[in-house]
Structure 1
Amino acid sequence: MSAAKTSLDVKSTPDNDVEPYSAEPSAADLSVDPAAEKRLLRKLDLFLAPMMVLFFLVAYLDRSNIGNAAIAGMTDDLDLIGNRLNVAVTVFYVTYIAFEIPASLVLKKARPSRLIPFFIVSWSAIIIGSAFITNYAGLLATRLLLGAFESGLFPCLTLYLSTFYKKEEQAKRISYLFVAAALSGAFGGLLAYGLTSLHGARGLAGWRWLFLVEGIISMAVGLTALFMLPDSFETAWWLNSQDKSLLRLRNAQTALQTGGPESETVFFDKAEVKLAFADPKVWLSAACQFCANTCSFGFGTFLPVIIKGFGFSSLTTQLLTVPVYIWASMVYIFVSFLADRFNRRAVFMVPMALVTAVGYALMLGVNMESTAVLYFATFVTATGIYCVVGLNVTWVSNSNAGYFKRATAIGVQQTVGNSAGIMAGQIYRITAKDGRYTIGHAVSLAAIMVAACGYCVMFSTLRGINQRKDGMSVEDRVKEIEAGKKGDRHPDFRYVL
């Protein structure tokens, strides 16, 4: 009898004997036709992936366009002297981190088909309004509001995808979100190049055109989402009855490893929320995410400023950011495919973190006159950033079972991780005279090395728990099942390493 089958096929009698229990399905009863499952995954990807990519693309586009606007004249027009630009970047994360946990916890009750479009439409209105601000105070106000409305998108999308895909399928699908983030940099560079060239048209500066057009694009995406996004696979208009039956079967397979199915009618579970907050692994993951996001936010927001510091003009800089983001996207797609193919996380994350560290070291050590080498260093740096950030999100989703424990764990990780934006907004000082940005690169280098060490600790911890579960006797397993241990605490649950 397999381990997965035993968990639901035995029960304890009053005499403490173990007898067969056939009321629950066995692993054999839940077998799935591989060809049918493959067709189902293709259909899910065909409909979900474009929407997820589009949502996250416009989110990152609207979040990071402040870097493009800064080198297109906004700094002078709004009198952003001293560290005012850094403060404007930082305040976004003040409200951003405040609402991530609540957003993920209310997703089920508020309904994904309403809550996610609400976020997109709301921040789109803020971006459109940003095109007409006239002073520093207005910039701060729009950034605070933007952070509040964008805060729930990523944890909600991550949680939403986990209801459609098994844990061994999630790395590639969550990678779509980070590929969208990377592509937003490439797309944003091209848009910035085209829109800022409209400087003076209808009396608007080029950076104002940038905010206005990007806000309108996002608004269109949000309104479309109202009609396209289902609450769950049960209400997905593009799935037929056979598809939904297969998805129910897949959920039942997962339930064998976690001690029971996740309730569709419970809208809040305080016990699972407490378990997430009390789990040291969640906090370790969050600390690693803080380190990785220090690099991601600093690099993603200030790449135009960094490249311009190499001596390029503003328009040339906008174009030079594009290949860097395309390269980062290609690498991440490839790595996430391998991560799902081999069902491994740390073995890819640690090397990718070290590659990024080499990139920062190059930008710190290479002579400023070696422009080509410095530009190459941005590719090296970008190689691992999105991989480690994205795979760590997948890892925390994979490592927490029970809907509300997973929702809380994702929220905690993102809240702690995204608070790195407060620091990232301060370490790249645009007032630097030589374009070296030593503080920003040095802090990022240290952060990515700490993250690599944290991934190693997480790997060792999860492997130790798996080994303990593998060595449990049948009697010990039954005791834990009788004690009510479910989710990732269930004796049949195995962590992805």
Structure 2
Amino acid sequence: MIEKKTDDSFVAPIPSDTSYEDVEPNGFDAVATKKLLRKLDWHLIPFMSLIYLLCFLDRTNIGNARLDHLEQDLKLHGLQYNDCLAVLFPFYIAAEIPSNIMMKRTRPSIWLTFIMFFWSLAMILQGFVQNYSGLMATRVFLGVFEGGLFPGVNYYISQWYVRDECGFRMALFFSAATLAGAFGGVLARGIAEMSGVGGKAAWAWIFILEGLLSILVSTIAYWCIYDYPETARFLTPKERTEVQRRLHADHGHLSNDFDMKYVYQALTDWKIYMFMLICMAGFCPIYSFALFLPTIIKNMGYTANDAQLMSVPPYVCACFFTIAASWYADRVKKRGVFLMGFQVVAIAGFAMLAATGRPSIQYADSAGDGVE
């Protein structure tokens, strides 16, 4: 039974057999709808973006820590550093679906706060490891708890916006990853001055301080995350009804309930596997870029401190193109052409990076790769 507010003092129930398509939009014309969307944006997207910024920062700051003698101090050799990078991802992937199920069975404010607190704790403990085994173990737990954030927030956004409004909001949220790269370089450069403080190396302080920042935000996350439109305190009853009406008009008879038949339908849908391949094609270069960019820049001849700072501009460039392209893609309702265009730019950038040894050209290629 959905409530439809008919005046300022009375909320009349809508009969359960009435479809949302048949319900008038409560006086919400184009201007009022735009105002409503901006209200949603300001209350939902900034904090989600902040959480993802911290998540991506905690996941990839090992690339910055490497420049401050991480491998030498932990006596890593051969491919052990690469092992520590790679071990995160199987556990990250395995956690995604169970995490979304848990978020639906609890509430976003509870589950997202829970996983954020524990990945932050794993990040802090990473600053106290003394060998290869310790680093591997903390990376495993980091993957387990971080795995639920990206799919969880994408699902969360779909519970507030209709389909052709989700792309731009997801891009705003995902752009926090590019800001994390820029912010991480600047932060790592400053933390490098703490080398030796408390008997700890700069790389350890990178993990500890950035983990403490994340755990601080997790302590307020429960009160900053609004679960669903029907319980949102920042919306008026009339606005809650309108948000729900729009969602039902857009989703039709699609169910939000968990049922194994939906799992089977997803597993037998060829489009799921095509999107998996597209996702892999995008994320493999992104993580290679995020985890190794500081090292690549240092190998161009820059000092470790300069390399931390020089990793910032490519991310700033990427952030601009992520937001601009997604906004325009939603506007013209075409996304595939933008995906293919940026993939071509990234392919050209990686090819030039591998083909030339000139630092200036390599650095320009890195900026081009970042927009992917």
TM-score scaled by length of structure 2: 0.92
Q: Is the 8 A contact 2:182 2:312 kept in 1?
A: yes
Question: 1:310 offset after TM fit, Å?
Answer: 1.1
Could you list the per-position Cα deviations for residues 344-375 of structure 1 after superposition, in whole angstroms to 9, with x for gaps in the alignment?
Answer: 11011111110111111111222x1x221111
* Residues 30 and 253 in structure 1, CA contact (< 8 A), matched pair in contact too: no
Q: Who is 1:219 aligned against?
A: 215
Deviations along 1:25-77, whole A, 9 cap, x unmatched? 48564444111110111011101111111110000000001010111111110
Whole-angstrom CA distance in 2 between matches of 1:202 and 1:185? 27
Q: Give the corresponding residue for 2:359.
A: 371
Give the whole-Å Cα distance in 2 for the aligned partners of 1:299 and 1:42.
33
Structure ID, larger Rg: 1
**Is residue 79 from structure 1 mapped to residue 69 from structure 2 by the alignment?**
no
Counterparts of 1:31-430 in structure 2, within 5 Å, are: 31=25, 32-255=28-251, 258=252, 260=253, 262=255, 266=257, 268-366=258-356, 368=357, 370-383=358-371, 385=372
Secondary structure of 1:132's aligned partner: coil
Once residues 218 and 356 of structure 1 are traced to their aligned partners in structure 2, the CA distance between those partners, rounded to angstroms, is: 31
Q: Which amino acid aligns with 2:81?
A: L
Whether the 8 Å CA contact 1:328–1:382 is kept in 2: the answer is yes
CA distance in 1, matches of 2:153, 2:51: 9
Amino acid at match of 2:270: P
Looking at structure 1, the residues matched to 163 and 116 of structure 2 have their Cα atoms a distance apart, in angstroms, of 27
> 1:429-468: per-residue Cα shift (whole Å, max 9, x none)?
xxxxxxxxxxxxxxxxxxxxxxxxxxxxxxxxxxxxxxxx
Listed one character per residue, the Cα deviations across residues 380-423 of structure 1 (whole Å, up to 9, x for unaligned) are 1112x2xxxxxxxxxxxxxxxxxxxxxxxxxxxxxxxxxxxxxx
Offset, 1:220: 1.1
Report if the CA contact (8 A) 2:230-2:244 is conserved. Answer: no
Q: Report the AA paired with residue 269 of structure 2.
A: D
CA contact (8 A) 1:251 1:261 kept: no
1:264-323 deviation per Cα after TM superposition (whole angstroms, max 9, x unaligned): xx4x22221211111110011101211221111111111111111211110000000011
Counterpart secondary structure, 1:318: helix
- Write the distance in 1 (CA, Å) between the matches of 2:299 and 2:254: 54
**AA matched with 2:100:** S
Task: Tell me which amino acid in the other structure corresponds to 1:192.
Answer: A
1:145-175 deviations in whole A, cap 9, x for unaligned?
A: 1000101111111000000011101111111
Quote the Cα distance in structure 2 between the aligned partners of 1:277 and 1:26.
Answer: 30
User: Aligned partners of 1:152 and 1:101: how far apart in 2?
Assistant: 8
Secondary structure of the 2:78 match is coil
2-side partners of 1:111 and 1:355: how far apart? Answer: 40
Q: Distance in 1 between matches of 2:194 and 2:318?
A: 29
Q: Is the 8 A contact 2:179 2:316 kept in 1?
A: yes
Residue identity matched to 1:40? L
Per-residue CA deviations over 1:220-261 (Å, capped at 9, x if unaligned) read 111111111122111222112121011022023214xx3x26
What is the match of residue 12 of structure 2? none
Q: What TM-score do the two structures reach when normalised by structure 1? A: 0.69
Q: Percent identity?
A: 35
Aligned length: 355
- Give the deviation of 1:102 after TM superposition: 1.3
Q: Which amino acid aligns with 2:193?
A: S
Aligned-partner Cα distance in 2 for 1:26–1:77? 62
SS where residue 81 of structure 1 aligns? Answer: coil
Q: Distance in 1 between matches of 2:241 and 2:21?
A: 16
**2-side partners of 1:100 and 1:153: how far apart?**
8
SS class of match (1:197): helix
**1:403 matched to which residue of 2?**
none
CA distance in structure 1 between the aligned counterparts of 2:133 and 2:80, rounded to whole angstroms:
10
Q: CA RMSD in A?
A: 1.6
Give the letter for the 1:72 counterpart.
D
AA in 1 matched with 2:167:
A
C-alpha contact (below 8 Å) 1:130/1:139 kept by paired residues: yes
Kindly state the Cα deviation for residue 105 of structure 1 after the two structures are TM-superposed: 2.5
Q: Which runs of 5+ in 1 are unaligned?
A: 1-22, 386-497
The CA distance in 1 between the partners of 2:87 and 2:230, in whole Å, is 39
Equivalent-residue separation in structure 2 for 1:30 and 1:280 (angstroms):
37
